[in-house]
Structure 1
Amino acid sequence: MEVSCAFPTALDTPANIAMAEQLGFHRAWVYDTPQQSPDVWMTLALAAERTDRIGLGPGVLVPSLRHPMVNASATATLCALAPGRVAVAFGTGFSGRRAMGYGAVRWSFMDAYLRAYRGLLRGEVVEWEGARMRMLHPEGHAPSRPFDVPVLVGALGPKGGEVARELGDGLFATLRIPDYAGEFSWSAYLLWGTVLDDDEPVDSAHARSAGGPGWALSFHGAYEFGGAEAVRALPGGDEWLGVVGKAGDGERHLSVHDGHCVELNEADDAAWQAGGHSTLRDVTLSGTTGEVRRGLDDLAARGVTEVVFQPCGPDVRTELERFLDVARAEPPISEPITSKESP
């Protein structure tokens, strides 16, 4: 399994990607979340200038945020800056859309978008919104067409799986691993968590800052996909809903996604303090060195070929180093892989 990393796009992300390259990570993925982040393509371009080896890519692009020509041109630019190192992932939009009050894009739209985007990179004339177009970039403005960029599709259900099989070069999953992950030669899985000391409680200050933002996704996801009743089933769910419920219906999503993947917001903190921290090991890859190692082995057994770890908290370097040390270690022979569900 390749060991990669991801970062919520921030002003210090190019420096963090350069550090990840120094440490030996395979690839760095950067989020397309304009409601809370600098531009993903600008950030990747700066990272390309600071690195020589590490793979680079947006993970995941949300099609509705940009015209396919804009993403094709940006992809071409990054390929020129980092030749042979670029991969692109697309998804229907979680925080990239829901934090602005929209639902996910339809898979029929994703299908049409990917066909147009890939056709543009091949130098073809494509049709979009009733108009015919192709990349007209002269020499020196973009790589010559056609050029190939691996495209991963963020899918969990059957419709997404079909699009990934037909139009993608691999799978980019998070929150859970679809049953068909093993069908793909490239199956990336984005996860959160932290390596805990052997006697460290799950409600320690370190566990909260380094594991908490990923843990909070269990509430954000439960609310978006299952509603209030799904949240109430979680420890601390009532306290979480009590904070989110203060906002009006038209702005509740602002409370839900505030601090997404970066820090605990007011609702997340209320749930954590009310005992929600007890699920940290269940919803993230958090635990002792042995527990995290067994979790990684389980991911590999379920078809994951690239694990993508997002560090959180104030000490990004230490989180990256500790995760990489565990990922590179040989699993203990005396500790078999468990059947516990991965985050």
Structure 2
Amino acid sequence: MEVSCAFPTALDSPENIAVAEELGYARAWVYDTPQQSPDVWMTLALAAERTERIGLGPGVLVPSLRHPMVNAAATATLAALAPGRVAVSFGTGFTGRRAMGYRAITWSYLESYLRAYRGLLRGDVVEWEGARMRMLHPDGHAPARPVEVPVLIGALGPKGHKVARELGDGLYVTLQLPEFAREYSWVPYLVWGTVLDPDEPTDTEHARRAAGPGWALAYHGAYEFGGPDAVRELPGGAEWLAVVERTPSELRHLAVHKGHCVELGEADAAAWRAGGHAMLRDVTVSGTREQIRERLDEAAARGVTEIVFQPCGPGIRTELERFLDAATR
């Protein structure tokens, strides 16, 4: 299993990616979350200039945020800056849409988008929104077509599985691991967590800052996919809801996703204090080095070929070092 990393796109992401390359990580993915992040393509271009070996890619792009020509041109640009190192993944949108009040896009839309996007990179004339277009970049403006870049699909259910099998080169997975992951030869699996010292409890300041943002996704995901009743079933869920529901319903998505993948929002902190931290080991890859190694072995047995670790907290280098040591020892 390859060991890669991910970062919630930030101004320091290019430097963190350079650190990850130095340490030996295989690939670095960054998120397409414009409501809380700098531009994903600008960040990857800066990372390409600071690195020589590490793979680079957006994980995952949300199609509704950009015209397919825009993503095709950006992909070609990054491929020119980091030849042989680029992979791209697409999804229907979790934080990248829900934190702005939208629902996920449909799989039929994503399928049409991917066909247009891949056709553009091949140099084809494609039709999008009733118009015909082609990448017209002359020499020196982009690599010659076709631009060969692997495309992965973030899918959890049967509709996504069908699109990934037909149009993707692999499966990009987070939140849960579907049974059909075994059918793919390339399966990056995005996880959060931290290496805990022996006998370190789950409510330490280190655990909260390093693994808490990933742990909080259990509440964000439960609310978005299962509603308030699903959150109430979680430890600290009632306390989490009490904070979120103070926000008017038309703005509630802002309270749900505040600090997403970066830090604990007010609702997350309330759930943590109420004992929600007790499920840290269950909803993140957190534990001793030996426990983390066991979790990764289990993931590999279920089809994962690339573990993607997102470090959190103030000690990014230390978190990267400790996780890589646990994953490769």
Q: Output the TM-score relative to the length of structure 2.
A: 1.00
> How big is each residue's C-alpha offset from its partner over 1:13-39, in whole Å with a ceiling of 9 and x where there is no partner?
000000000000000000000000000
Distance apart, 1:318 and its partner CA: 0.5
Alignment of 1:1-343 (within 5 A): 1-329=1-329
Partner Cα separation in structure 2 for residue 235 and residue 328 of structure 1: 33
Structure 2 residue identity aligned to 1:271: A
Query: Aligned to 1:189, what secondary structure does the other structure show?
Result: strand
Partner Cα separation in structure 2 for residue 19 and residue 141 of structure 1: 30
Partner Cα separation in structure 2 for residue 147 and residue 129 of structure 1: 23
Structure 2 residue identity aligned to 1:72: A
Partner Cα separation in structure 2 for residue 188 and residue 146 of structure 1: 25
Distance apart, 1:199 and its partner CA: 1.5
> How big is each residue's C-alpha offset from its partner over 1:163-206, in whole Å with a ceiling of 9 and x where there is no partner?
00000000000000011001000011000000000011100000
Partner Cα separation in structure 2 for residue 230 and residue 317 of structure 1: 35
> How big is each residue's C-alpha offset from its partner over 1:126-156, in whole Å with a ceiling of 9 and x where there is no partner?
0000000000000000000012100000000
Structure 1 residue identity aligned to 2:54: I
Structure 1 residue identity aligned to 2:195: V
Query: Aligned to 2:173, what secondary structure does the other structure show?
Result: strand
Structure 1: runs of 5 or more not aligned: 330-343
Query: Aligned to 1:173, what secondary structure does the other structure show?
Result: coil
Structure 1 residue identity aligned to 2:75: T
Structure 2 residue identity aligned to 1:102: Y
Partner Cα separation in structure 2 for residue 5 and residue 123 of structure 1: 32
Structure 1 residue identity aligned to 2:222: A
- Could you list the runs of 4 or more consecutive aligned residues of structure 1 that deviate by over 2 angstroms after TM superposition? none
Distance apart, 1:297 and its partner CA: 0.3
Query: Aligned to 1:162, what secondary structure does the other structure show?
Result: helix
Structure 2: runs of 5 or more not aligned: none
Structure 2 residue aligned with 1:339 = none
Structure 1 residue identity aligned to 2:244: V
Query: Aligned to 2:198, what secondary structure does the other structure show?
Result: coil
Identity of counterpart residues, as a percentage?
Answer: 76
Partner Cα separation in structure 1 for residue 266 and residue 294 of structure 2: 33
Structure 2 residue identity aligned to 1:281: R
Distance apart, 1:239 and its partner CA: 0.3
Structure 1 residue identity aligned to 2:286: S
Query: Aligned to 2:177, what secondary structure does the other structure show?
Result: coil
Partner Cα separation in structure 2 for residue 183 and residue 224 of structure 1: 28
Distance apart, 1:125 and its partner CA: 0.1
Cα-Cα RMSD: 0.3
Query: Aligned to 1:197, what secondary structure does the other structure show?
Result: coil
Partner Cα separation in structure 2 for residue 38 and residue 77 of structure 1: 18
Partner Cα separation in structure 1 for residue 90 and residue 303 of structure 2: 20
Query: Aligned to 1:300, what secondary structure does the other structure show?
Result: helix
Partner Cα separation in structure 1 for residue 38 and residue 323 of structure 2: 26
> How big is each residue's C-alpha offset from its partner over 1:240-274, in whole Å with a ceiling of 9 and x where there is no partner?
00000001111000000000000000000000000
Partner Cα separation in structure 2 for residue 194 and residue 325 of structure 1: 12
Query: Aligned to 2:110, what secondary structure does the other structure show?
Result: helix
Distance apart, 1:3 and its partner CA: 0.4
> How big is each residue's C-alpha offset from its partner over 1:29-53, in whole Å with a ceiling of 9 and x where there is no partner?
0000000000000000000000000
